[in-house]
Chain A
């Protein structure tokens, strides 16, 4: 089997346009019929990930800044992107397609494909198959979204055929592709602005047909191995290199989960190690993986399997992300409200007892992109390995990394993220904080100025802040203090505290004043205490609801 050449496989592609919007509409039916914009953060930018047809009619486009999208379509409901929700919702679609054919391959939430040879003959031709798939998926979506089905030779042509909702006759892929702009060879969806696409246009190659008309040798001479890849696509052949290697059977990675994992994060943590091991063993053999089957077994003996495909070789992060999405889909079906999946499809009934990753399609590794400094990559791998080991010893939440975000107090301005998870702030970072890219964010009124305390207590340690007469210091409705602080006592200070030598403040915070249930009022002072044991010690004291506490220590 090794080294066989593959002709373009006749493929059916099922595409749900604007899937992020559809996923949100399935969860929140109130969003059906109103313009919806799904936003995501890309670096420091807040951009549109997807927009509903109503919003697009007003001029909202993917990749546009959120502010501009809101200006063009003020009526739009803006929701946060949630990849886990998208993957979970797409599981229902995948199951609907799976009732027609067992060989479903997921490209990403919103698009899946399968080879048509068997099902097409069974259901009486490509058109009948397409109609059947369309009906099955539409029933699941129930008006929340649109579905398009395309059939053509090759995965790439089928994906484009799905955009037109067309069935391309056998052998007609090259002719079907010819009029498309070259950008589709590189872009996933809109094919926006890829540098290579612009280069081809500058060279006078405007359509896919222009590229296909060139000789392969000429393209490879100019663009190297990537050139061969897009030239194959342009001619309607499969993107993959012509040589596929049969996956060696002993490369299957599995792990037994005892006790069974009922929570996604527990299973995903195990899956991350599994993904790393699988790819490490593949790369030791000079192989890269482009398609992987995620298999799981539940405590009631059910076996679940789903195949994920990736354009180009899977990286450990991309593989772990896909496995996490898949686990999300399975476990949410078990724990969440029934009916989120399709009717008549069995949901998962228990925790997962085992996980397997099976490389379904491997290709010779075409060289890995290392960091500019090779040693840097080696150091990162070494650090990742030991930190994963410590996570194994103490639990995934024990190893964390800090993300600076907006807020008023030192505790609010930091979000702790378990090591290995995406480092994203919950709130936009404030101006002036030591974080790159935060310069355009507005400041937080009342935020405490630097220096920043090196010890932050969450929750604050109980303390007594007294004035010269020995009464507790309080704050009035306008943020003015009842008297100057004179004594601070707390167990966290050396010697239990002492007289106040100097103070600054108070900073009065009225947190979430617009929400009567979450509203909090507090006042903070920077206080220098003269202690008998350690001399002058500076700390941050908060008074909330009449009780004082040490929030932080300048250590």
Chain B
């Protein structure tokens, strides 16, 4: 990503530039990315998630982990694609999903997944939907996780994992506690979602600290 910029065709001779223009794919990888809207747009590198990438979101409960994953799922349904949420405890709030922009018609939720079937279920879903958001079961084997990353890349599907992810990911979001305040009418509202972002594939992980929303 950012690290590849120094070696691009801009610094090469005219013949190479011409050649690069000729062999450029008709649809660039960037154009096939799922565009993220809403509060996360400013946090995700390039404003979108490349198809085939793995995004790991983690943080303590109550800091916006689920909301961040739903905002990414919304990017898939907004593009007219299908999304699946793997939610073993069965506690996902559908109203929050709708509020995050997820089209509920095109979002399937898989519940009550035993921990030992989790890798098989996620692998099956990656075959058919554009984005799978899954909460990681405890004691996931790194080998299984690595196979899923490869599967997502091969199928050009986005894998969003919430919880401790044992292997590498293209983008990592760490959510941190946000601020809550009372509005004039006495209701609570969130001041924003705080997250720290690491982008993999650059020489040293870029750390952004941003508040959005």
Contacts and interface: CB of A to CB of B under 8 A. Distances in A.
A451 B125 CA distance: 30
B24 interface: no
A400 B99 contact: no
B60 A494 contact: yes
Interface stretch (A48-56, A284-292, A360-368, A401-409): A401-409
A452 B95 contact: yes
B188 interface: yes
B128 A555 contact: no
Nearest to A539: B62
B81 interface: yes
Contacts of A450: 95, 99
B104 A402 contact: yes
Interface string A276-290: 000000000000000
A376 B82 CA distance: 10
Interface in A404-419: 404, 410, 413-414, 416, 419
Contact of A552 (B80, B93, B182): B93
Given A398-B113, A450-B99, A538-B190, A456 B128 contact: no
Interface in A468-520: 492-494, 501-504
B22 interface: no
Nearest to A503: B188
Interface stretch (B6-14, B26-34, B65-73): B65-73
B97 to A, nearest CB: 7
A423 B108 CA distance: 12
A399 B109 contact: yes
Contact of A387 (B65, B93, B117, B128): B128
B170 interface: no
Given A393-B120, A449-B187, A453-B96, A387 B84 contact: yes
B93 A453 contact: yes
Interface stretch (B45-53, B137-145, B172-180, B199-207): B172-180
B70 to A, nearest CB: 6
Contact of A538 (B97, B109, B120, B188): B188
Contact of A457 (B59, B91, B107): B91
Interface in A519-555: 526, 528, 531, 533-539, 552-555
B143 to A, nearest CB: 20
B37 interface: no
Contacts of A526: 187-188
Contact of B108 (A376, A399, A493, A539): A399
A458 B99 CA distance: 20
Contacts of A492: 61
Contacts of B105: 401, 423
A417 B82 CA distance: 17
A445 to B, nearest CB: 16
Interface string B72-110: 000000001110100000111111111100001111111
A382 interface: yes
A404 to B, nearest CB: 6
A454 interface: yes
A379 B187 CA distance: 41
Given A393-B124, A504-B187, A555-B63, A401 B108 contact: yes
Contacts of B127: 382, 386
B13 to A, nearest CB: 40
A492 B60 CA distance: 11
B155 to A, nearest CB: 10
Contact of B110 (A390, A410, A454, A501): A390
A286 B131 CA distance: 33
Interface in A277-317: none
A388 to B, nearest CB: 9
Interface in B109-131: 109-113, 117, 120-121, 124-125, 127-130
B124 A435 contact: no
Nearest to A525: B188
A435 B98 contact: yes
Contact of B62 (A384, A385, A398, A553): A553
A456 B109 contact: no
Nearest to A383: B82
Given A394-B117, A553-B62, A555-B66, A414 B95 contact: yes
Nearest to A456: B93
Contacts of A103: none
B111 A402 contact: no
A434 B95 contact: yes
A387 B125 CA distance: 7
B60 A554 contact: no
Given A390-B124, A555-B62, 5 more contacts: A382-B128, A398-B111, A399-B111, A492-B61, A501-B180
Cβ-closest 5 pairs across A and B: A535-B177, A386-B128, A537-B62, A402-B94, A534-B60
23 contacts: A386-B127, A386-B128, A387-B125, A390-B125, A393-B117, A393-B120, A394-B112, A398-B111, A398-B113, A399-B108, A401-B107, A403-B104, A404-B95, A404-B98, A404-B104, A410-B93, A423-B105, A453-B95, A454-B92, A455-B91, A456-B91, A494-B61, A504-B188
